[in-house]
Each structure stands twice: as structure tokens, then as C-alpha cells.
Chain A
Amino acid sequence: MRSRLNSLFDALLPVIATLAALGVGAVMLLVLGANPLEAYGALWVGAFGSTNAFAETLVKATPLLLVALGICISFRGDVINIGGEGQMIVGAILATSVGLTFTGLPGWLVIAMAMLAGFIGGGIWGGIPGVLKAYFNVNEILSTVMMNAIAVQFMNFMLRGPMIDPSQAELASKIPQTARLLEPFRLLRWAPTRLHLGALIAVVLAILVYILLWRTTLGYRIRAVGQNPNASRYAGIDVKRHVVLALLLSGAFAGLAGMIQVYGVNYRMITDGSASGFTGSAGFNGIVAALFGQLHPIWSIPASVLFGALLVGANSMQRMVQIPSALVTALNGLVVVFVVSSEIWRRRRQRRRLAAAKEEDVPPKPDPDTPGKTKVRA
């Protein structure tokens, strides 16, 4: 009973952190001269107000969940992967080129190949910082951020050059986008909404990542390396290899998110020249979702839906009460800050629990001088 209450409290911490962020957001809205209730109301209606709104929320949540799954793996391995944006981009570039090249193959095969390509592309882009961290001691936070910047330029180069939509190549505007994927290569949709098969794929993968992390040796080792690299080394685990694997797998899931964006939503790769022009910042927001879901793949599902809802709702908030959707980016930042800050209470409770357990396990020796006073409760 006690332990169940404790875990309930732990699960509530991120919710409290989010409410606190929304509270700060309400103050900001007041300062900007908007009615917070009206603004949050518009946000709610925009995200959940109709079947179509909810479908859009799930469409936004899908890449968040896929990125978050990768984040669960890397953060559990104590590797901070900030490179989701770049990994999504490279995964999408490879996956898109598969779809645009093998136009003669059956749809299911091309989709399977594209998923693999996305996985590999993201894996390479995550694996490079992994190798740099493991073997050259380069801080992965910095290298993944640099890899993001490189990926954006690579995308702009590809979409303006070798992969440009032939119809755009002749125009003066030269919008950086590829040609559209053929009809049979597009992921199944639940018409008339834009909700696509990718959402289901992401949920299935969440279960697989849970199994990977808690039911396989690989997952156990990644977590062991994350918790105590020294002890892991003594236990015979190749720490460096698992650091690389954690980042590589993490990147692979982000790469898959990029593939799903192309094959499920846009049917082509398109950007405005910035990373978020293609990713919609899912590479960053996926981190927020994973942290919110306590770095647990299954909890990341509702967390992704929540942040997907915030993103979709922000657009309707912008339309209805003229508050720029950038507010949601700021709020996401606050959620991250509040969630990591609230960790201290969880750690404190854990320590207290451990101390209490220790005391109960080892009964102190009866003091011969003062009989009767055997236990001192702290």
C-alpha cells in the first residue's frame, strides 16, 4: 500500500510540474493582455474539440512518441541526445530517396525498405556522436547539436539540388521540396482525417522498446551503464560499446520519426530552410515528452499525446485569441525545467525510504545500559 502511494506520488510530479508551467503561462498571458481561461479554452477546443481535432493531435503526437522512445533508451544509458532534429532529417532524406528511387516495387515492400532506411539514417547520425563520446571523450550534447546544424544544411542542399521536385527546379521560387511519393507508398489513412498507420506503428514500437529495456540483456546493459559505468565495467560490460549503441538506437527511432512524417503526413520532404520547417521541432519536443513520461516507453504514449495536443491547440489559440503559438515552445521549456527540478523530491523520498528499510531490516542491538529503549526512530 505504502509503495503504491509512493509510485503514485512519483507519477504525479510531472503533472504538478506541468500545471505549474501552465500557471506561469497564465501570468504571461495576462501580461500580454489575453484572458488565460479563454486562451487555454481555445487550446483545449483546438486539440480535443472534434474528431478531426483529436486526430490532428494524434498526428502531431506520433513523431513525438518515436523521438521520445529513442530518448528513453539514450537517457536511461546516461547519454543526453539533443540531436533528434538532425536524426529525423537524415532518416527522412534516406527514406524519401528510397521511395523516389524504387518506383517499380510493390507498396508494402517500399514502405518496409523506407522504414529501414529511416532507421539506418537516424542511426548513423546518432551513432557518430556516440563514437565521438565513447572513444574521443567529446561531450555528446555539443556534438549532437552540431550534427543538427550540419543535417539542416545537408537537407537544404539535397532539397534545393539533387532531390528537388522536378516541377520546382524550373520555377524561379525553387521551394526546397522533393517530388511527391507515389500513391501506393503512402501510409494508410483513417479518412477523412489525416490520422495514419504511423500512430499505430509508434505504439507497437513503444511496447517493443519497453521489452528491449527491461526484458533483454542489451537493455539491461544499457541501463546498467547508465546507472553506474564503473560497476558495469567491473561486471565485464563493454561500456564504450553500449554508449555507442544507446545513441545509435536513439537516433534510429528519431530517423524513423522522420520517415513517418514523409510517408504518413506530407508525402514529400519539404522545408522552409530551417530544421523545424521539416520536423516541427519534434526532435526537441520529443525530449520533453520522454522526460514527462519519466523516461518510460509506455508512459511516453500519453505524454506524447499531451504535447501533441499542446502543439495543435497552440495553433487554434493563435487563430482565436491572437497569442503566437511560440508561447507553447516557452511553456515546453518551463515543463522541462520544472520536471527536472522536481526530481529532488523524488530522490529525497527514495533516500528516506531506503533509510527506513535499512532500519527495519537490521534491528539495532539492545543497549545493555538502558533496557527497553531498543529502537530510535529517526
Chain B
Amino acid sequence: MISDLFSVTVLVGILASGIRLATPYLYAAIGETFAQRSGVLNLGVEGQMLLGAFAAFYVALTTGNLGLAVLVAMLVGAIMGLAMAFVTVNLHAQQGISGIGFYLFGLGMSDLLFQKMLGTVETVRGFPRIHIPVLSDIPGLGQIFFSQNLMVYAAYLLVPIAWFVLNKTTLGLKIRSVGENPEAADSLGVSVAGVRYFTIVLGGTLSGVAGASLSIALLNVFQQNMTSGLGFIAVALVYFGGWRPWGVLGGALLFSMVNSLQLWIQVLGIPIPSDIAVMMPYVLTILVLVASVSRVRGPSALTKPFERED
């Protein structure tokens, strides 16, 4: 019944799972924010996430070492990022299309490795919930904010760090100047290629973590194409957030809250066809893009390859 939605338990449940569901979006979208602020649209996020998710899952399943699993996922994402950087920075390849290429590669490769190395869907012991003493005992709030797992906390911690790096450090200044006016940055002695390599590899690394957060912290399984568009939504969230970490956080929360609501609607048996309910977050993303993109201006050099004139 609709009225069930408004009971305290359900509301707390919706908020708690909304906070949790935002995790992969945060990792991937913060990484993508860095790439885009330096002028590179990385559309391969989804592929990087899938490979990261598989790598983390496989390591966690075979060794039981979750830290190592995240590390390997980061490495896999970084390697994918390195390839992307080479293709877009050195070879000036069209960023949107090469990103789709990397997506297809990650999609096929993760499926291939899964079928060859595991074959069946298994579950793994993922990151356990951490109940923060005292705080987690607060009714409602405790369950929403202070009883999540480590990867969830780390994702939220990433937001202020990203804000600080982008806005308060020389590195951030370099990244932003390369994204706004690479010619000027270059004439001031900033290595455009170097900065872009850094941001793309960072983006890939965080996408790998985003994948790991799915397979060993939220769902604790690996399945073929388990991200199902999540990486593309993360890219959309960067636009939505106006290329700013706090804006990205807002977008990720809004999106995952709607998603969480949609899941609870199905759990409670409210008579909305589940297919239509699943559709809602995507419709929302489009509407939000319409509302936000025409308002905020993105980095001027976004998707433009830089070529030094000599």
C-alpha cells in the first residue's frame, strides 16, 4: 500500500539503502570529474567498472583478502585508463567513440574471464558492516549513516578530498587550466599531456574501485554485465553536478534515493509494474540533464585533443 511508504521503518530503510547505493556512482563520477575537468570525456567507465568488479570478485573469492581485491581492481582500472590516455592524448582519437570501444572491450572481456575462470554465479564474503560505536545506536540516523561498510564511508570521504584537490591545490589549478585553455596552460609550462594522463589514469583507478564496490561490498556477486548502464549514469552525473564534486554528490544521492525508493516500492508490492519502476531513474536522469546542462557551462576544452603548434 502507498501508505506503507510513510512508516518510519520503511523511510529509514529507503534512506539507508539510498546512501549505500550511491557508492559506486560516487567513485566512478568523482574519477570522471577529474578527467572531464582536464578536458577528457572518458566514456569507457562502464567497461573499467566491469573489469574492476570481476578482478575484485575473483581475488576476494580465491584469497579472501578484501584489501588485496580492491588493490587489484584499482590496478586493472589504472591499466585501462592508461590505454585510454594513450589513445586520446597521444593519438588524438575521438574520445566518445574510443570510450565506447573500451566499454565493449570491458564488457566482453569481463564476461569471457568470468565464464572461463568461474563459470557459475557464486557469492563472496564482502566488506562487513561497521557499526560506529554510540553513533550507530541513534534511532533511525544510526542505521542510515553509521552502520554502512568501509567502502561506503570511503566513497563519501572522497568528495571533500576531490573538492580540496581541485580547488585548493596547484595540481587542481593545473587540471582546471588544462581543461579550460590548454594552449595557455602549455605556454606557462604545464604539461597538458602529463596532466591528462594523470586524470585519466586516476579516473580509471576510481572506476575500478567503483566496480569493486559493487561486487565485494554491495551485491557480493559477479554477473555478466552486472553494471547494466551504471557507468554511463556516472558520466551523466558529472554533467548534472556541474563538474563539481559536491554537485556530483548531490546527483548521486538523488539518483540512488530514487532507485532505492523504486526497489522498496517493489518490495512492498505497491501495484506499479516493476519494469516501469526500474525505468524511473533513467527518465529522471534525462530530465535532470535537461534542467542542468543548459544552466552550467562545462570545461571549454572538453573532448578537444590538444596539439602543440611547433
Q: Chain A residues in contact with chain B, CB under 8 A?
A: 28, 32, 80, 82, 132, 136-139, 141-143, 145-150, 153-154, 156-157, 160-161, 274, 284, 287-288, 291, 323-324, 326-337, 340-341, 343-344, 347
Contacts and interface: CB of A to CB of B under 8 A. Distances in A.
Nearest to B297: A137
B184 interface: no
Nearest to A276: B225
B155 interface: no
Interface stretch (B2-10, B69-77, B229-237): B229-237
A139 B286 CA distance: 10
A378 to B, nearest CB: 14
Contact of A137 (B87, B92, B236, B293): B293
Interface residues of B, number: 47
Contacts of B293: 136-139
Interface string B98-126: 10111111111101100110000000000
Give the top 7 A-B pairs by smallest Cβ distance, nearest first. Answer: A329-B108, A333-B104, A330-B108, A336-B101, A333-B105, A337-B101, A326-B111
Interface of B: 43, 47, 83, 87, 91-94, 96-98, 100-109, 111-112, 115-116, 224-225, 228-229, 232-233, 235-236, 239, 273, 275-276, 278-279, 282-283, 285-286, 289-290, 293-294
B96 A80 contact: yes
B107 A329 contact: yes
B108 A142 contact: no
A332 B275 contact: no
A337 B93 contact: yes
A287 B225 contact: no
A336 B289 contact: no
Q: Which of A148, A156, A340 has the most CB of B within 10 A?
A: A340
A284 B104 CA distance: 9
B273 A157 contact: yes
A46 B89 CA distance: 39
Contact of A330 (B109, B232, B285, B289): B109
Given A142-B289, A150-B283, A344-B93, A332 B239 contact: no
Q: Which of B107, B108, B224 has the most CB of A within 10 A?
A: B108
B94 A340 contact: yes
B289 A333 contact: no
A331 B43 contact: no
